[in-house]
A and B are shown apart, each in its own frame.
Chain A
Amino acid sequence: MKTRAILSVLGEDRVGIVAAVSGALAECGVNIEDIRQTIISGVFSMTMLVTVDEDACAFDRVQARLAEVANDLGLQITLQREDVFRLMHRI
């Protein structure tokens, strides 16, 4: 089963954030569909649309792997199914 999800990363800008996050995603077989990234007053903000292949890696395992990255780099990372955002913001 393939699940579309929104990945949101927030934290102090530093070298290697994109590499660490996308590396973790690749390990879990998660495909990145789209990325938006910006820096506002030194705060790194990245939003990704990704597809989680739950046959390869369960959703909560991807979340657990991302929690490790968040911990290592001092970031806030959330991975949530895309439906919740789409339904809340579109009629």
Chain B
Amino acid sequence: MLQLSPEEIAETLTMITQQHFDIRTVTLSLSLTGCAADSVDGVAERVYERVVRAAENLVPTCERLAREFGVPIVNTRVAVTPVAEIAPAGAGDLAPIAHALERAAQAIGIDFIGGFSALVHKGVGAADRALIASLPEALSTTERVCASVSVASTRAGINMDAVLMVAEAVRATAEATADRDGVGCAKLVAFCNMVEDNPFMAGAVHGAGEPDACVNVGISGPGVVRAVVRSLPEDADLTEVAEAIKATAFKITRAGELIAREAAARLGVAMGIVDLSLAPTPAEGDSVAEIIEAIGVARCGGPGTTTALALLNDAVKKGGAMGTSSIGGLSGAFIPVSEDAAMSRAAASGALTLEKLEAMTAVCSVGLDMIAIPGDTPVETVAAIISDACAIGVINGKTTAARIIPVPGKSPGDTAVFGGLLGSAPVMSVNEWAGTTLVRRGGRVPAPLASLRN
């Protein structure tokens, strides 16, 4: 017997056809621990074989799932063990491993593969150093490879030497992709409190505590939530707004849980996590900024923005927590400027500034994301921006990140165009009074007292 009302069925169909309801990403997370070899070329060959063999059915399986369940799956991706962890000792240039990942991604038909990464929040090893030095070459000669570097954690503090190295890599990567507005930097993220099971790019890696392979899923984006908030009467109070978001988050999380379970079963791997992050796209209406505006802020970035974002982020978690017992990844709203059309507009109009984005970082994931800054911003200033984002994460015991693009040859008022899902963004002005001496001191900002919890 039909135990669902026609209204409930119609609601789901409307969500899919009119409100961007989808599964944002199905990410196959793969361990590369069997791929170590004596030479970089040897590692590259094994990595290619491992990814192509393990993920050959990923795309067709997701296409079948999307058809059967009638829910679009927007992205299928692969995350791998941080490459620095399997690089041979004394290796020089690690770019050949990035090229192997690129070829593998191309062979299996995915748009991004994450894990050209190093974890250096407490100290920088020889392989880590080689990987960070390889970033400009790796990111400028590949399209699909995503890189990340963990530079801080609540347990270790902030490794300022690593922050400065990443800032130098960011500048060099921007220069190496100068003809495309520094797009290489869109695939490079610096993390504080990096997670091991994030399905979203550019920061997805396969963590050391994960099984050989698992499926991690990112839930639907902001379009559905925006539609629900907009449908509320203007005099609905904030508890009612939170309640409506919660109910919607439950529904979209359940769909994510179902897809994660089915995809894992069909691929013959473990089900990992469901990530409750609302991830915007440049598509009109699929915007976190528009949710903030629908809640009642004149333009994203204006006073009240942090409050609205905090309410949104918390309500999504509360609804999602009822929808799955496997919450993981970043699970917090994303605020990438170039990837969110309304956020980009808010930045262009001056309503949204770098400083406001930093405040917003404190109440959501994932920090200063996809921010275009002037191409001549000094390395020390880039480092100081990254370390400020890290400080918020370290002290508050949360993940923060920085994905900053110094756009070569462009200044505030210009627009950087990255294309596709990466969108476009106005070049934001940067405060000139940076902590140059602070970052040049180097060393480590000690872990906070809050980390001593045992």
Contact = CB atoms under 8 A, between A and B. Distances in A.
A87 B258 contact: yes
How would you classify the secondary structure of chain A's contact residues: helix, strand, loop or mixed? Answer: strand
A55 to B, nearest CB: 16
B321 to A, nearest CB: 12
Interface residues of A, number: 27
A89 B258 contact: no
Contacts of A45: 6, 10
Interface string B47-67: 000000000000000001001
B71 interface: yes
A83 to B, nearest CB: 6
Nearest to A6: B9
Interface string A59-74: 1100100000000000
Interface size class of B (residues with CB under 8 A): 20 to 34
B4 A84 contact: no
B8 A85 contact: yes
B9 A47 contact: yes
Contact of A85 (B9, B64, B67, B68): B9
B232 interface: no
Given A88-B12, A88-B251, A63 B2 contact: no
Residue from B1, B71, B252, B254 whose CB has the most chain A CB atoms within 10 Å: B254
A84 B2 contact: no
Nearest to A91: B322
B13 interface: yes
Residue from A34, A48, A84, A91 whose CB has the most chain B CB atoms within 10 Å: A84
A87 B12 CA distance: 11
Nearest to A47: B6
B1 A49 contact: yes
Contacts of B325: none
Interface string B3-38: 110101111110000000000000000000000000
B230 to A, nearest CB: 20
B254 A87 contact: yes
Contact of B68 (A33, A34, A81, A87): A81
Interface string A75-91: 00011110111111111
Contacts of A83: 69, 258
B228 to A, nearest CB: 13
Residue from B8, B64, B68 whose CB has the most chain A CB atoms within 10 Å: B68
A80 B6 contact: no
A47 B257 contact: no
Interface in A7-35: 8, 33-34
B70 interface: yes
B258 A60 contact: no
B289 to A, nearest CB: 26
A8 B9 contact: yes
Interface in B245-273: 251-252, 254-255, 257-258
B225 to A, nearest CB: 14
A34 B2 contact: yes
Given A47-B2, A85-B8, A88-B251, A60 B70 contact: no
A86 B3 contact: yes
B64 A84 contact: no
Interface in B291-307: none
A87 B257 contact: yes
Contacts of A81: 68-70
A33 B69 contact: no
A45 B257 CA distance: 29
A84 B258 contact: yes
B68 A59 contact: yes
Interface in B213-264: 251-252, 254-255, 257-258
Contacts of B11: 89
Given A36-B6, A59-B68, A60-B67, A85 B12 contact: yes
Nearest to B323: A87
A63 B63 CA distance: 14
B255 A78 contact: no
Contacts of A89: 4, 8, 11-12, 251
A48 to B, nearest CB: 8
Nearest to B3: A86
B1 A85 contact: no
Contacts of B258: 83-84, 87
Name the 10 nearest CB pairs between A and B, nearest first. Answer: A80-B70, A34-B2, A87-B254, A88-B251, A49-B2, A89-B8, A84-B69, A47-B6, A88-B254, A81-B68
Given A8-B13, A79-B70, A88-B251, 6 more contacts: A48-B2, A60-B67, A80-B69, A86-B4, A87-B258, A89-B11
Interface of A: 3, 6, 8, 33-34, 36, 38, 45, 47-49, 59-60, 63, 78-81, 83-91
15 contacts: A34-B1, A36-B6, A45-B10, A47-B9, A49-B2, A59-B67, A60-B64, A78-B70, A79-B70, A80-B70, A85-B8, A85-B12, A88-B12, A88-B252, A88-B254
